[in-house]
Structure 1
Amino acid sequence: MIAGVGINNDGLSKQDFMAPGVEGQARAIRMALAQAELKPDDIDYLELHGTGTRLGDPVELSALKLAWGEVRDRKHPCRLGSVKANIGHLNACAGLAGLVKVILAIRHHTIPPMANFRSLNPYIELDNRAFEINTAQLPWPREGNSPHRAGISSFGFGGTNVHLVVEEHLSAAASMPQQKQGIDPEILFASAASPEQIKPLIESWLPYRQAHGDANISLTSLITREHLRYRTALVLRAGETPDLNALTVSRSADETRVGWVFGGQGEMLSPEMGRQLYRRYAPFRDAVDECRMLLGDEQACLIWPLHDNDWSLHRPAVLQPALFIYQYALAQLWRAVGLMPECVLGHSIGEIAAVCVAGGLTLDSALQLVRLRGLAFESIDGEQGSMLVVFSELDSMPSLEQGLVVAAHNATDVQVVAGAQAALDAFMQRCQEAGVGTYPLNVTHAFHSPMVRKAADYLVQRAPRLRGEKLTIPVYSTLSGQRLEDATDIAYWARHLLSPTLFSEALAAATAAHHLTMAIEISPHSLVSGLVRKSQLLAIPSCSQARSEHLDFLEALASAYGNGLVPEATALFPESVSKVVLPGYPFRKHSLWINRPSNAKQTQGENRAPGAIGPTPERAGGAVTAATGLSQAAPNGLDEQEEVLELNEDDSAQLLALFVSYWETYLGLPSAVPDDDFFSYGGTSLTAIQIQEAVKRDLGVSISMSEFMGSRTPRKLNEIVCERLMGETTDE
């Protein structure tokens, strides 16, 4: 970010229009430092204007030394450079080019060298304790939690002098306690053509954990391997060896259609909510920071403080906007990993986040709405009521006492009743006597009941004009149970506050319209996932509040991967993580040798395994010793030049059987006969070449393409080869 700006024009104090001025430049530099509230010792790098002239550069350095004064106690001299050494003068764009260079240097934590620098202008005197012209690429590490800082100068004709102080933006995560590198769990993605190959694949990778690190292995498993039908994803924890005998291998669905379900308040939230995801994942962190910026410093410190011990989550005015921020940030994380939904819906207050993510409310409007909603509940005087989950069909519940209402239809056999605490206690007792299960919710108010009428009125009276665009993702309303068209009417949200939550109806409508097969819960708990499973959908909770938040998210990714979704790597891994070399796929090994026909005659003295077609034939003393077991005889009294190959009927039949097997192998025939025409069964020139190579390999006989095309059948090919074998031996 630009931390300070200094700008002036000293044209009146100069005698020459184009001459640089020491005082004017020094004032601009001091002005930028003062605005940034920094000292010269805080600056690591200076991007100079760098005219490259005999006059301009000495003036610039003189102005710099004048502005900085005497520099003491620097650990390292400030590095100097200028982008003009790379690209020359850009006139009006000179300062912009310098700004781009500095931003890139900060991003890559590297100070680039001054290009083409050979020697210093003789009119320049540098104090080597304060300044040094950088002639080599240098790493630019941070010192503790201090951001990188740089100055940029740009001076124009007519006396315009500009100096910027640029500071690296460190998110709030940088000031929070960080986990040691390599301690975070990672997720390993593995897939195979059959379930039996998954375990050997992972076993071949695990020995590389110590050498490469879990994060690098995880990235490699995701982006360098094809994702096959059978899949598993394994969470790796530092210092632990996974139990591969407990692997769950899933068969990836042919089609996966996903909906996002945003949970409601349901229970009190943990003050550790979002902390791990904020530290680890940039999309989550950026979304939270955006919300905090829109809230302003005072409200941000209240609603999403940087430390959980400052979090007053017992207050509706804090809890409800905090829940919204968490859900909005979590949705941005799922969006960044590429797992986008067909549609969204939200349980109670979760619908505000669902509508915002779908584009129906701007982030600013949604934040104002949810913050005002929380304040509205704090405006209620007197008894605030409570809520009770009832595990029963609506018609089978005990009758409701006066003042109690059904506040939510969560599933066919799951209802929520709201009202005064005394009436709820009596109703719960009657449910127990009737054998109906109940569960009291730990909530602040009797939401979706007449007891919050004052909150609805407060909302309508004080709400600003809500802004939003046309919904880009279909939203299903838990007020109507049907698709929502417009969410910018505050009267809708007032009715939403008072009326029963028709979650079961909204989920059924979304599932039918979009043929959903899976729902991902966008929530800090897993309460809604249990309701989703009752509708026969696969439910994947993002978090559960029962254990590590990051671990829960990885388990959710693992479940999504096993069911056909492949996440994108960019959001999951920092830039420091890179691909490594891992063992390849463990192909199953099968013998593909063509077996000899069972009636083939073994040549006496042949020292080979029965049924195997051996290596390329060798010629010993001029006689062909083919690996097919053809009979050989060298008549007594003949020298090596007179040896003759004798082919009897059994040898010819054996060769014919070999050629028939070629037809079966290369033409893909279940069985073939000696007179099967090559072209009648789809033979091509490529297939012909394969058979030619097989004849050469197994018999040592070369068949030309014209000879092969003329033969067309195994029988004809057999005749040509037998003749060739006899002729070659006779010629010898």
Structure 2
Amino acid sequence: MNNYLSSKKQLSNQQRLLLKIKQATAKLHEIETAATEPIAIIGIGCRFPGGVDSSETYWKFLQEAKDVRTEIPKDRWDINLYYDPNPNVTGKIYVRQGYFLQQPIDQFDPAFFGISGTEAAKIDASQRLLLEVTWEALENAGISPKSLKNTDTGVYIGQMNNDYAIIGANSLPDKLPDFYLGIGTTPSMSAGRIAYILGLQGPTLFLDTSCSSSLVTLHLACQSLRSRESNLALVGGVNLMLSPDATHALCQGRALSPDSRCKAFDASADGFARGEGCGIVVLKRLRDALADSDRILALVKGSAINHDGPSSGLTVPNQQAQKKVIRQALKNAKVDPLQIDYVECHGTGTSLGDPLEVRAIEEVYCQQRTKEQLLLLGAVKSNIGHLEGAAGIAGLIKVVLALQHQEIPANLHFNEPNPRIDWEQIPIKVPTTAIPWTKGDKPRLAGISGFGMSGTNAHVILEEAPTEGNRTHPRPSQEESEEGNSRGTGGEQVTVNSEDDLERPVHLLTLSAKTETALAQLVTNYQNYFPTHPELGVADICYTANTGRSHFNHRLAVVASNQQDLAEKLRDYQQTEEVTGVFSGKLSYNNTVPKVAFLFLDKDSKYINRGRQLYETQPTFRQALDKCDQILHPYLENSLLDVMYGEQETGHGEVLSLLDQSTYSQPVLFAIEYALAQLWQSWGIKPDVLLGSNVGEYVAACLAGVFSLEDGLKLIATRGKLMQQFPSNLVPGITSEFESVAKEITYSQPQIPLISNVTGERVEKGFKAEYWVNHLREPLPLVQTMETLEQEGYELFLEIGLFSRLVTKPLKLELEQTEACLSSLSPPQAEWQSMLASLAQLYIKGVNIDWSGFDKDYLRSKVVLPTYPFHRQRYWLETSEVKQSKDIPETNSSPIFDLINQGDAEGLTQELNLAENFTEAEQEILPKLLNTLIKRHRNHLKYPGLNSGFLQQLRETPDRERSGLMLNYLQNLVGNLLGLDKSQKPDSQLGFADLGLDYAMMLELGETLETSFGCLVSVTTLLEHFNIQKMSDYLIIQILGKESENKNEILDLTNQNQTINLNSEIEKIETLGEEAIATAIQEEKIATAIQDELKEITLLLDNEEG
């Protein structure tokens, strides 16, 4: 640095100026590069007409060149009530057909997204569809949706229709506003709900530029990524046709084709056909996608947007504006027009729009183009109709797939070229059959246009994916790079493959779901998927499933060697409960990550070739052993690796003889256990406590940070030599010599809890030379140290040593049955089989695993796999349901009863004061009693029959049966709140928030329970007792435990002549439960209530963030 400053001072003024110019130029180039950096498309989710539910089925559909128009489904509207072929008939629709999704749009899986059934029915079906397709797009990209929580991920959604709001407005009783319907049909919620469900914190916006909406969102998302405002973007559009209103309006404007076909560029073009669908793409900056080894599908090189400005009319396209936006997109992409091979046109099939669009394309793309370099045009609207707000994303995904599959699909309904286009004079062709689009020396590029009826135009330039990337590369350490792949051992040369060829012999696949049914369906989907994708390697399948999926409570893990083995085990699992190499289980909904104890339990034995399979195929394990070997060179006559793996050169008997000597056996034990611990930790398995016996405690202390690896090996090498010379630990010579070496070591406090093999207790301090001398002399029996672990509540025991389940006898638990103790190496089982079997069980038990770390040493590619199988049911606004909600049971009306129905406590008080002279004491409690009466009355109306005689039944029920009775009561109550069918019972173990109860619902639940049972149930209470089971236990204690106290208080009031005598018109007050009366009397003051409310809101926010 000083030399640089010195040389800089010696520069002339001109040289300094030149240097500054160079630096400024470099900085400017860096800024320009960032501003124009290509954006990678790394994932796709889509639902389009024709049964399209993935990018794979979309491409198959395009290859088959289908037109999938159908008659308007009756569940949308009855076309017979609206149809008339005469376009001049007022109030009628002259089309009978359109392009509709095959998937039932009234069905949804609200529980998966943590939404209640009550709210789900009031959420726009477009928003629900977006949630599913976004999830599928992320899984297609190999990104776990849960991993995006609190990240700068942006959401950009385009949509122009909001038909569900029309349905909702027509369904409301007396046209009264509804909170859930209000937010459920607010357009901005289309993007906001996605960000909320996934916990995203990047820019989130909804926009409507009519038909160009989804391409405009793509343009804005790319700008956000290039400016570093976001690091990932979810982009797309949606359109559903649920009401005849929009179709009616378009018919009035004669915009629709009478035969419901988009005949783009054809002489018979007479309007467009409406279509519906949803598309989402996942975007990331190219350099980040390459660094993350994402599956890059295509690149967004550049894009542009503008407006028509002055034209013949608001909805009339402007050719000059179209030319301008295309030129700007090419400029932004730094692409020459002649580099473009294909343009996916807006292509609506209108007699005016098509010629204008082709002329604009010709003037920009074909000025220097010859007939030998034809520009190809197409429009997916000829296949699936005009998807309006989602039209642009449907066209873009088509081009991405065409680039991937090196083929341009056929354009339909192009029989006679539009005579208003001079086809003979322009180098443009519309393919009516599929045309090969093979890779060449230069990247293939295409343009996509979207022109909005509002006048907003968009054009995007796509380029094929780069050939590099798309595959993770192992990351060798510095030592690995320096040493190369050959390991000298003085004896045999241990076989170590190059990093690119390195592979483990078996693999681990994990599958999970939120329900048992969904997991079974996911297993079936994988089974069906494998036969049609034999090219997929088991390593890439497992890598993608493990790293690219969120992990839920119902879990399955399979150890398999190849795809066939995997498929067979999945099949066997479905047919029988127990299959070798298959592990399954369910985590409790309140599951906390189990505490894991690392156990280093060793006994002297023969360790020939132990760990050899791992050494030859696992770089992390190998690097740890190599490091131990290097450190031990000054202390051992023979190389550690020679002793462990060199039997073919030195002779089997000689190796056995060396391993019989503690001089070698103890360092071997240390090295193996240390390397295994490093391997487990590289997979994300971190110990909550360490326990070792004999040599194992040295390894445990090393991992805890008590001393360095170098010092640990120095100690163990000294210990081994001395114990070889003096077999008895009690010989004075051994302890004094060992103590002198131990005093040379630097000791620190353990950074991980450590159970002493000397005291049997947790060690906080005191690791000095004397400790290790005592350890050599007087180690405790293992049973005492294990009892300490048991008392401290450790749940999982992972043996890092060489023997399986040595710990089961000392523990006073049947660990074999509980499977709480897992092994690392468990002969005669192959090493990888043993390791992965234990890893599978750790996963099943809820231990967090770093799946990227698990595969970091190997070449891996993300591949396309089945996405989550949503368990859908019908959730839709029904007029009949609304009618039922208005059917309040008839009662004999009276002024008092009317006031109760209206909830007018003040009016009731006035009426009662006119009818009766109350004492001052009676006047004081009257408002509280009346408010309780009103709550109780409303509760009975809302949940008729739910509380009838329940308290009496609860009192009379034997203790052992009360829990089930209360549980059933609460399940019915919560089920009503969630809008579940009577046959459905909410899971009593699932948290209230996970069931879909939001803050408003929790308030309602608390008020209902409070007025039913007379005990305070706030939102705080519900969060503390967070599921139905815990709330049931709480209520039983509260209700039955306080009855005596409540009765005594009421008796006290009676003795003081404070009895309330109401007239016959309010006889219902006399039937009010004693518990409710007591609660009203004991109600907290306002200040306390406000504090509780603030506490509830804080807890709820914390709960949602967690």
Which structure's residues are more often helix, by fraction?
A: 2
TM-score bin, normalised by smaller chain:
0.3 to 0.5
What's the TM-score once normalised by structure 1's chain length?
Answer: 0.48
What's the TM-score once normalised by structure 2's chain length?
Answer: 0.33
Greater C-alpha Rg: 1
